[in-house]
């Protein structure tokens, strides 16, 4: 686990917790406001969370060539997650336009 500095590890780990907390809070916000678009937004955040976990797992094992597949998985999950977040944002926008 010496491939990254302590500060970089701190940022990686706290970002995981922050993203997880954001998913929970957005989901609860949607439930309390009876707006299912927020549930879709929270769900759309999961691929990016999994992407971050793949990156951290690779770093935990000191970035070995035998786990290079995790880099591919991470990039695919990031792309998928970004597309899902864009779709969820559009859904949220459409939902707000309907309410207005």
* pLDDT higher than threshold 90 for residue 1: no
* pLDDT higher than threshold 70 for residue 17: yes
> Can you tell me which residue has the tokens 């990031």?
78
CA distance 63 to 76: 18
Query: Each residue of 49-96: pLDDT tens digit?
Result: 999 999 999 989 988 899 999 999 999 999 999 999 999 999 999 998
Least confident of 18-22, 34-38, 94-98: 94-98
Based on the structure, what is the number of domains in the chain?
1
Say if CB 78 and CB 48 are below 8 A apart.
Answer: yes
- Asked if residue 52 belongs to a domain, the reply is yes
What's the domain range around 82? 6-99
CA distance 70 to 55: 7
Average model confidence (pLDDT) across the chain: 93
* pLDDT higher than threshold 80 for residue 99: no
What's the pTM value of the predicted model, to 2 decimals? 0.88
- Asked if residue 1 belongs to a domain, the reply is no
């Amino acid at each position: 686990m010496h491939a990254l500095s302590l500060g970089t590890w701190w940022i990686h780990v706290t970002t995981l917790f922050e993203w997880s907390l954001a998913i929970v809070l957005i989901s609860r916000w949607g439930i309390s406001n009876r707006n299912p678009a927020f549930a879709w937004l929270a769900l759309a955040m999961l691929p990016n969370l999994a992407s971050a976990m793949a990156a951290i797992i690779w770093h935990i094992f000191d970035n070995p060539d035998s786990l290079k597949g995790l880099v591919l998985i991470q990039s695919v999950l990031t792309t998928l997650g970004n597309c899902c977040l864009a779709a969820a944002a559009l859904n949220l926008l459409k939902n707000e336009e309907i309410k207005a």
